[in-house]
Structure 1
Amino acid sequence: MKLILLGPPAAGKGTQAEGIAERYSLAHISTGDMLRAEIALKTPLGMQAKALIDEGNLVPDDIINAMVANRILQADCANGFLLDGYPRTLAQAEVLAAAADIDAVIDIECDSEIIIRRVASRRVCPSCGHTQSVHEGEAEICEKCGAALIQRADDTEERMRHRLDVYHESTEPLISFYTERGLIVPIDGTRTIPEVAEQIFASIDGKQAEKKNACCCCSCGEKEHE
C-alpha cells in the first residue's frame, strides 16, 4: 500500500501515522522528521528550512521533492509507504503522481479552534523527538526518555493561525486533485485518538479489499480469454 496522510498542523497526524505504519508494515516517511534532522545537523538545507519554518512558511517544493524522491526508492519502502506531511501543494502532488501510484489519501479534518487549543498544551522532546500534550500542573518531562520538554517556536497562537491559513490555502487544490481521482478518505479528527485510528484502519482495510477484488477480476478476465 502507498498512502498519503493529510491534515492541518496539530491534527494528530504524527500519532496516527505511527499506528498506520506499524499495523500495515509500511515505511513512515515524515518530511517534518527529515527536515528536523537536517536542522539538528545544521546543514545548509537545515538552516534554510529552519528560517522558513520558524515563520510558519512552507519549504520550497524543489527541496522537498528531491528529499522524498530519494526516500521512496530505499529498500524499506518495498512493501509500501506512508507519506506524512507530503505532498502539501498541487505541484508536489503532480511530481509524486509521476513517481508512484498512490492507493489512498487519508485526510484528517479538524476545526481550527480545536487545533489552537491543542497547540497550547503541545510540547516536544529535544532529545528523542517525541511529542506529547502537557496540561496545567503536569511535569514537562518526556514520557519516552525522561528529558525536559520544550515548546516549538512556531507553536504560539499567532504563528499557528498563520500556519493554518497557509495550510488551507495550499491544500485546497490538493484535496480537489485527489478527490477527482477517487483517492480522498475523509476522517473526523475531532474524535479521540483511538476513535480516529479506528476510522482510518477501517478505511484502509476497505481500500485493500477493493484493490484485491480488482486484481482478482483482472486475473479472471485474462483466464477467460486464454
Structure 2
Amino acid sequence: MRLILLGPPGAGKGTQAQRLVDKLGIPQLSTGDMLRAAVKAQTEVGRKAKAVMEAGELVSDDIVNAIVSERIDAADCQRGFILDGYPRTLQQADSVNAMLAAKGLSLDVVVELVVDDKAMVGRILKRAEEARAAGEPVRKDDNAEVYDERLREYYKKTAPLIGYYYAKDKLVTVDGMQSIDAVTKSIEAVLATATA
C-alpha cells in the first residue's frame, strides 16, 4: 500500500499516519526525518543536503526527490509506505509520479482529510493548552497567527494537489472533523476499497 495523506495543518495527518504504520506495518516517510537520516548517514545526497542547510538555504526539490527515492528503495518500503508532508507542490507531485514509474510502482490512493479551517484554530489552541497542562512543550506552530500563515501557505502551494490527484482518479476524501477513531475507521475503509 503506497499512499499520501493530504490536508491542512492540524488536520490529524500525523496521528492517522502513525495508526496506519502500526496497522499496516509500513513506514511513514517524513521528508524532515529522511533529510536528517541522510545527513547523519553521510550518503552522497545527505552531504549535499547538509551543505545547503548549513548555508541556511532551503533544500531543493532535486535533493528531496533523491532522498525520497533512496528511502523508497529500503527493504522496509517493499510492502508500501505513507508519504507525509510530501509532495507539497504540483512540481513535486510530478516528480513523485516519475520516480515511482521509474521503479515500476504507483500510488494506490491519496486520502484527503477534509476539515473546517475555523474549527482547526480551536483544535490547535486546545492541543497547546493540553500540552501546557501536562507540563509538555508546546509546539511553536500551535498558535493562531502561525497557524493562519501555515494555512495560507497550504492553500497557495499544496491544495492544488487535491485537483491533481482527483484528475488521476487517486483522491478519496475523509471527514477529518470526526473523532480520531472514526477518522481511522473511514481511512481503513478507503484502503480496503483501494486494495480490493
Query: What TM-score bracket applies, with the shorter chain setting the length?
Result: 0.7 to 0.9
* Paired residue type of 2:172: V
Distance 2:17 2:186 in 1: 13
Q: CA deviation at 1:105?
A: 0.2
DSSP 3-state at the match of 2:9: coil
The structure that has the greater radius of gyration is 1
Partner residue, 1:134: 130
* Paired residue type of 1:152: R
Alignment of 1:24-39 (within 5 A): 24-34=24-34
DSSP 3-state at the match of 1:83: strand
Alignment of 1:121-200 (within 5 A): 121-122=126-127, 134=130, 138-140=133-135, 149-200=136-187
* Paired residue type of 1:97: N
DSSP 3-state at the match of 2:5: strand
Partner residue, 1:65: 65
Normalised to the residue count of structure 2, the TM-score between the two structures is 0.81
Distance 1:121 1:60 in 2: 35
Moved more, 113-122 or 86-95: 113-122
Among 115, 124, 129, which residue is 1:119 paired with? Answer: 124
Distance 2:93 2:73 in 1: 17
Q: How many residues align?
A: 182
1:102 equivalent in alignment to 2:113: no
* Paired residue type of 1:91: Q
Partner residue, 2:189: 202
Identity of aligned residues (%): 41
Distance verdict in 2 for CA 1:172–1:201, change over 3 Å: same
Partner residue, 2:103: none
Distance verdict in 2 for CA 1:38–1:73, change over 3 Å: closer
Distance 2:116 2:55 in 1: 30
Q: CA deviation at 1:21?
A: 1.9
- The CA deviation string for residues 153-212 of structure 1, in whole angstroms up to 9 with x for no partner, is 233211110100111111232111110111001010111000000100000001111xxx
> Using CA pairs below 8 Å that are at least 6 residues apart, which structure has the higher relative contact order?
2
State whether residues 27 and 81 of structure 2, in contact with CA within 8 Å, keep that contact through their aligned partners in structure 1: yes
Normalised to the residue count of structure 1, the TM-score between the two structures is 0.71
- Displaced runs of 4 or more, over 6 A: 36-40
List alignment gaps of at least 5 residues for structure 1.
Answer: 53-58, 124-132, 141-148, 210-226
State whether residues 31 and 85 of structure 1, in contact with CA within 8 Å, keep that contact through their aligned partners in structure 2: yes
Distance 1:75 1:167 in 2: 32
Note the aligned Cα RMSD (angstroms). Answer: 2.5
DSSP 3-state at the match of 1:155: coil
State whether residues 39 and 47 of structure 1, in contact with CA within 8 Å, keep that contact through their aligned partners in structure 2: no
List alignment gaps of at least 5 residues for structure 2.
Answer: 41-49, 101-105
Partner residue, 2:47: none
